[in-house]
Amino acid sequence: MSGDLIGKSIPMIDGLAKVSGKLTFTSDLELPGLLYGKVLRSPLAHAKILNIDTSQAKKLTGVRVVLTGRDRLYPYYSVAGQSVLDEQLLAGEKVHYVGDEVAVIAAIDPDIAAEALRLIKVDYEELPVLLDPLEAMREGAPLIHPDQQSNVPYKIEFSRGNLLQGFKESAVIVEDSFSTPLQYHGYLEPHAAVAQWDARGRVTLWIPMQSPTLGRITYSKALGISEDQVRIIQMPIGGAFGGKLEYKLHVLCALLAREANRPVKMINTREEDFLSGLPRVPMQIRMKLGVRADGILAAKETEIVADSGAYVNYAHGILLSACHRHDNLYRINNLHTKGFLVYTNKLATGCFRGFGNPQVHFAYESLLDMAAEKLSMDPAELRLKNAIQAGDTTPHGWKVLSSGLSDCIRQSTNGADWNTKRQQKQENKRFARGIGLACCLHVSGNRTFLPYFDGACSDIRINEQGKVIVFVGETDLGQGALTTFAQIAAHELGVDISDVTVSYVDTDTSPHGLGTFGDRATTLGGNAVRLAAIDARVKLLTVAAAVLKTEKDELDISKGIISSVTNLEKKMTVAEAAKFGWAQLGGGLITGQGVYIPPDVSMVDPQTKYGNISCAYPFAAQVAEVEVDRLTGTVKVLNMVAAHDLGKTLNPLLAEGQVQGAIAQGIGYTLMEDMGMKKGIVFNRNFEKYNMPRITDVSPITTIFVESNDPNGPYGGKGLAEPALTPTAPSIANAIFNAVGVRIKELPITPEKILRAMEDSNI
């Protein structure tokens, strides 16, 4: 092989195209005859639609199509794996949140389309608005969806072990309530789509999307056509963080294109993206934890109320993750959990980096520190006593084949000088410093609720010039998956990475793949690429062996040269072998295919929620050091030390970038970000008013990689991107408590909340 590429810091192969502006995003795409689509959105949070008058809009010169929910009965819209039909493509009888889609327009110019929106007249009758999920749950509350039996479309409840016995054994019991807010993804590129139909009734969608395969399933149902009539070409993605899975704008774009018989482009404005962009699910969490005198976790009881907003989307899966996933972080056998997904008249929520984990880990890791304080035990020691270990099977049936959790705790605390800083006494001065620890786990693949395979497939083609093209079903969201796949292929084929191209997903030509979510891209997609490259390598060596008149087992490839290990005179370039193979195969190319099916992974049982849902489980521990201004309540994050068990560091440069970006996003989630609501309207719906971290808000970050070498990961690797955000909020919250002695249980942790808590505690 050409130098070992695994573990090397290789810059993103598409980095130059990005920074030079040469990469074509959806907003850049132009097609002949292109029209521009716009959405008319509801100004009210809950109302009946009495009448829609589109006559003036249709008369406007340049308008080609105007569609409303009153024009025809459109199929319901529901994402893959979601059975509740609660969302229409266009509101017909009612609107359910400010931003709900009422009408769509296609015109020859974006400004004409925007003018046409202003000419549509809609008469509404306002209905009671429910913004508090606890109020919406109450018996007798007005139904947001009258065809549903209640405002609680999903409930989850499960038990493990003997809860009462566990609490009886506990020397310390801590219990409290926590809450988390709506958080906007903050990606640079808003949602966008271009759609075009052909003469055979097939639609092609050019969209920045995390899972084209799931998109085909969802959009074909919504459009009333078969899946093979939907082609999705994945465009470069200007940031996703979970927010670029299925999105209704894509279907609306296809509807307009079909009606106009011309291609249509639709791009959310930033304000529209804030109003309807499926932000992080807010949760209210009540948790009770029992701990024995020796620090061993004895019992935990949890109740979670998740605010779904107006529609379910993926919030049912996110609720399951929040109820279920954190239980596998530490050894604990006695559990009881209830979860409620609740409709409100807010914008629908959806997937966001961590998928329910950041919300519940904030509560769990805060409660662990509360228990440690009552036991007069070091919080790190408490976690080490209970940390899950390789070889464990958790109460939910997760089979942990590798675990670097204990090492993450030790290395992060050592790197932050934990013992010294924990023991430093805080004088009663204006600026108080504190240090806090939190941990988490995640998945590398996810069989909790999607009723499909959780494997991956890759095809590799070596052309007659010896250049390698990799086809995958997993997408690059900006995190560097293209580079990692190219790195794996080049490593196995013995060629330079510059000779490898990774194709963007096109559902007509790419292998089937569920896409990129649940930290599955490197583990599952990487395994498939590795197997495909090995397959292509064998074929390449077979061709070379015939030319060099030797056995293929005697040949090796290094730096693009195929040579005999016993006779160095026998050699040829990969390009020469590929060209010979191309001629030998009558114009055919050397190809390879890799199919990776993760072993011993199963769908979670719908009733018991039991099952080994992933082939690998990554872990993390983060230590935050903060400074709190006692006078103003302002928190400054001084330092973050993040230790991550990612199995094997395939590309340190990209891995470190993932951790840094995730912590920056986590600092925003902890201290700043909240999509403020007034009467159901997001009032801070632009980057000027929405408080996100700037570079000055991000502390120095020390990144430590713990390599546990998972047996199922490619070269031992497993996921990193999602767990890198999850411990940040509780680590900072625990550090604030260490600094000033008040525990803030509601995110974001603002100066006002700190000052109020200090005043209430007479600090």
- What confidence category does residue 268 fall into, taking pLDDT thresholds of 50, 70 and 90? very high
Q: Report pLDDT digits (tens) over 381-406.
A: 999 999 999 999 999 999 999 999 99
CA angle at 708 for the pair 706 and 713, rounded to the nearest 5°:
115
pLDDT above 70 as % of the chain? 99
Domains 15-22+455-596 and 31-127+187-240+244-276 equal at CATH topology level: no
Task: Find the radius of gyration of the CA atoms of the chain.
Answer: 27
Spatial CA neighbour of 628 closest among 436, 420, 493, 465: 436
pTM for this model (two decimals): 0.96
Residue 1 has a pLDDT of 42
Work out whether strand 230-234 and strand 203-207 pair parallel, antiparallel, or are unpaired: parallel
Q: How confident is the model at residue 127 (pLDDT cuts 50, 70, 90)?
A: very high
Class of domain 15-22+455-596: alpha beta
Position 425 pLDDT exceeds 80: no
Q: Which CATH architecture has domain 31-127+187-240+244-276?
A: Alpha-Beta Complex (3.90)
Quick: pLDDT tens for 512-566. Answer: 888 999 999 999 999 999 999 999 999 999 999 999 999 999 999 999 999 999 9
The CATH label, of 3.40.50.1820, 3.40.50.970, 3.40.50.800, 3.30.365.10, for the domain at 357-441+616-760 is 3.30.365.10
pLDDT at residue number 580:
92
2 band by pLDDT with thresholds 50, 70 and 90: very low
Look at phi and psi of residue 734 and say left if phi exceeds 0, alpha if psi is from -120 to 50, else beta.
alpha
* Strand partners for 501: 469
Retrieve residue 49's tokens. 């639609």
Give the model's confidence band at 588: pLDDT under 50 very low, under 70 low, under 90 confident, else very high.
confident
pLDDT over 70 at 41, yes or no: yes
What number is the average pLDDT over the span 150-177?
98
Instruction: Report yes or no: 762 and 194 within 8 Å, Cβ to Cβ.
Output: no
Q: How far apart are the C-alpha atoms of 480 and 485, rounded to whole Å?
A: 9
Percent residues over pLDDT 90 in the chain: 92
Note the pLDDT tens digit of each residue in 131-143.
999 999 999 999 9
Asked if residue 637 has pLDDT above 60, the reply is: yes
Token pair of 278 as six digits: 């499926």
305 beta partners: 284, 340
Per-domain residue ranges for the chain?
A: 15-22+455-596, 31-127+187-240+244-276, 357-441+616-760
Calpha distance 399→390 (Å, rounded): 8
Tens digit of pLDDT for each residue in 702-729? Answer: 999 999 999 999 999 999 999 999 999 9
> pLDDT class for 623, splitting at 50, 70, 90?
very high
pLDDT at 568 exceeding the cut of 90: no
